[in-house]
Structure 1
Amino acid sequence: MKPNIKIGFNNGVIGAVTPLETGCFGFVASAVSVVDGFQLGTAYQLKSMKDVADLKITDTIDNHRLFKALSEFYSEAGDGSEVWIYGMAKTLIVSDWFTPVDGLAPVENLLNSAKGKIRGLFTVNDSSVAPVITAGMDADVLIAAGKAQTLFENYTAKKYAPFFTILEGYSFSGEKVALTDLDTVNYNSVGIVIGDTETTSGVTSSKGAAIGVIAGRLAKYPAVVNAGKVNNGALKASQLFIGDAVVENYDTEALYDKGFITFTSHQGRAGYFVMDDPLACAKDDDYHYLTHRRTINEAFRFSYDSLLDFLLDEVPTNADGTLIATYAKTVESAVERKIATNMGGVLSRDPENPNDTGVKCFVDPTQNIVTNSKMEVAVKIRPFGYNRWIDVLLGFELNN
């Protein structure tokens, strides 16, 4: 059952747009080089559609999908939002982008160029290779998802810069029943989107998804905010389709039940909304939702940054080689302070308790640092909950 509210209330719309570090994303796209402008295999940093124009990326047949994604991103996120782009030859398929060549996957060139700033990768597929439809969409989508998950794990371990990846449910056949249930795979840093601002049989014959719309909405708000939060207002996109059907005429709830990110409309609200933000993994996975993945990724970055100051540090010890308790407390305080200071409202905390920061760090002082040269640290953060389902009991009351 899709997230819904059985009784609607009128809410205001939050209109402010503030560029956020957590909203620094990367677009990897099938594209064609432009003379004296945009080139394949080169990372570019953009802040507005003016930067897009400066690279001579226009709405041509060659680069329509890249231009569309960027224009929809800035329409949603607003100028000033940082995005990086990287073009791939149209002879490649998306899984190739995540496949190491001489030890380096092509998309790593983009991640490395941004020096760890990129929090999310979004793919824009326009390959000249004909898709092979399996289980309701291009078979390469799930192959790419597995490789993107592997890259996430390897890159995070190597560079300490975790990210998520959003793929298109490319060439979706329209047969919702045929789709793989994404709860059965284990890609908890990867999401797959079905739904676009263009139809399958239109002039541009879209096989992809509204990646720019999703990315723009995510960039507009902090990591803790669900892309489908109704109180933030409808998406800027005036039309959204599943194949040739407008969203409201397609059973998008069935797509959601299969674990896909998709779109919806709400009775009493004009426009379209992201339905929710599931990732391609089991529902009981701690990171089944993108909000939780983005939050833990930020905590990862700040844990690393704070603990780096203690690497190869001289550690005072007791006679038996265990940590001096005050040193353990110093480490704990440093980690908690770094995360609490930098993540602000991203962590859930008790507003009535000034000592509750939403983060706890524990260093066991009984560890023998002399023998092992290893200090084990446990860091826990408290996530927000989300009103995915609201049940209301409504009736009359008579006072006799």
Structure 2
Amino acid sequence: MAQGTGTPGVTVAVTSGNLQRPVPVLDGIAGIMGTAYTVANIGVVKTVYGYDDAVEKGYTPELEPFLNKQLREFYNELGGTQEVWVLGVEDTMLLKDMVSTTNANGLKKLLAVSRGRVNMPYICRKPDATYTPPVAFLDKDVSDAVTASKALCQYQQKINQPIRLLIEGRVVDVDQANTFMPATASNTYVGVVLGGSLADGSASGSVALARAIKYGAHVKIGNGQNGALTITPVFIGDRPLEEFFPEELDNLSDAGYIIFHHRDGAAGYYFGIDKMAGNDDFEILAYGRMMDKVQRIATATSMPFVETSVRMNPDGTINDADAQYLEDLIKTAILAGTEAQLSAVDVIIPTAQNIINTSTLSIQVKIQPLGYLTWINITMGLTTNL
């Protein structure tokens, strides 16, 4: 510190932002890709570590109102600071183009620059003034993006950097009947978030992103033990959530959307079921995130054994001791990395493998997930005695 001048005294510097505690990284690193307006932020991947840091790096309310809102809602829900990878794109870029495997400036770029760290991206957009979607409940660009994103998600899984993607469910006309059913889309890498803090058809998917990132992969974003969401109010299209009948929200949930809702006896908003766009084993986000986590652990544990060797029995099968050693090593690593997040794990290496001719070892990993209480049925009645 430089020496002072004048008469002796005490100088105090008051700083702000110190109450934003760092939120530890558990099982996810977030990425946000959306509409930007300044040249410095279009096509450029930046890492921010909190809302104030995001503003300092150019995502201000004045220059970048759309991305600023996404980051503000994310960090409000997160309740602290954590790294987020951000990529701004032109307001003419469609959601389906963001997730195209051939778009060098799309989500593929964000994932590549992060070198696999981002495993929970969210894509959203504020269309330019000339954009006119077909009259429908949901912007067709959303359903197109659900379909188009599957190839990129499969690619990420193939290179052992799996992701679960959230897509903004942009509503065009809330009075139109919904015709898109994410539950039938056959792409459970992806979830569509419906509902947001503005009455303009946009969605606050960054809130869902924060709720997922804040807790372990096994924790559902609608977990009632974690309290209500920070967002208020909530609209679907231009209608407040409170104006929807319960059966209307039930229908949207059954269709496969991730929606906001109220819960009896509790204040505030909660997420419904963490539905993904399909009905296979990974139809809820928690199952998919846990599988992704186990894939990364199994890959990291197995990688040191690439181009090593195992002993073979006279009949051409793998030596039992070598197979057992690898099984135990991988299983121990998975259990250590997923403590209390799974019900059970089993690792099997079939010994009847023709490794001498194929140089390929096949390993089976089976995980039993936790069970989730999505519905609770209570039977009640009067009685004359107890």
SS at match of 2:338: helix
Distance 2:54 2:22 in 1: 20
- C-alpha distance in 2 between matches for 1:391 and 1:255: 22
**C-alpha displacement at 1:17, in angstroms?**
8.3
| Residue 329 in structure 1 maps to residue 324 in structure 2 | yes
Residue number in structure 2 paired with 1:71: 72
In the other structure, the counterpart of 2:50 is 48
Share of identical aligned residues, percent? Answer: 27
- 2:184 is the counterpart of 1:208: no
Tell me: CA distance 1:310–1:39, structure 2 relative to 1, closer, same or farther (3 Å).
Answer: same
> Which aligned pairs between 1:20-35 and structure 2 lie closer than 5 A?
20-33=25-38
Query: Paired residue for 1:91?
Result: 92
Provide the aligned length of Structure 1 versus Structure 2.
Answer: 362
Tell me how far apart the structure 2 counterparts of residues 29 and 105 of structure 1 sit (CA, whole Å): 12
3-state SS, counterpart of residue 345 of structure 1: coil
The answer to whether the Cα contact below 8 Å between 1:23 and 1:81 also exists between their aligned partners in 2 is: no
What's the TM-score once normalised by structure 1's chain length?
0.86
RMSD: 1.9
The residue number in structure 2 matching 1:116 is 116
TM-score normalized by the length of structure 2: 0.89
Q: 5+ unaligned residues in a row in structure 2: which ranges?
A: 1-20
Structure 2 equivalent of residue 137 of structure 1? 138
Instruction: Quote how far apart the aligned CAs of 1:118 are.
Output: 0.9
- The aligned residue for residue 259 of structure 1 is 256
2:54 alignment partner, SS class? helix
Distance 2:160 2:102 in 1: 21
Matches within 5 A, 1:188-337: 188-200=188-200, 207-250=201-244, 251-282=248-279, 285-337=280-332
Q: Any conservation in 1 of the 2:294–2:334 contact (CA below 8 Å)?
A: yes
The verdict on how the C-alpha distance between 1:176 and 1:329 changes in structure 2, with shifts beyond 3 A counting, is farther
**Contact kept in structure 1, 2:135 and 2:173, CA below 8 Å:** no
SS in 2 for 1:262: strand
Letter in 2 for 1:306: T
The equivalent residue for 1:389 is 375
- What is the CA deviation profile of residues 83-107 of structure 1, one whole-angstrom value per residue up to 9, with x for unaligned ones? 11001111211111122337x4621
- Per-residue CA deviation, residues 10-66 of structure 1 (Å, 9 max, x unaligned), is xxxxxx9842242311000111126xxx52111111111121121121113x52221
Residue of structure 2 aligned with 1:340, choices 326, 335, 340: 335
Name the amino acid aligned to 2:195.
Answer: G
Q: Secondary structure at the match of 1:381?
A: strand
Q: 1:368 to 1:101 in 2, by over 3 A?
A: closer
Does 1:162 find its partner at 2:162?
yes
- Partner secondary structure for residue 22 of structure 1: coil
Shift of 1:198: 0.8
Whether 2:180 is the aligned partner of 1:180: answer yes
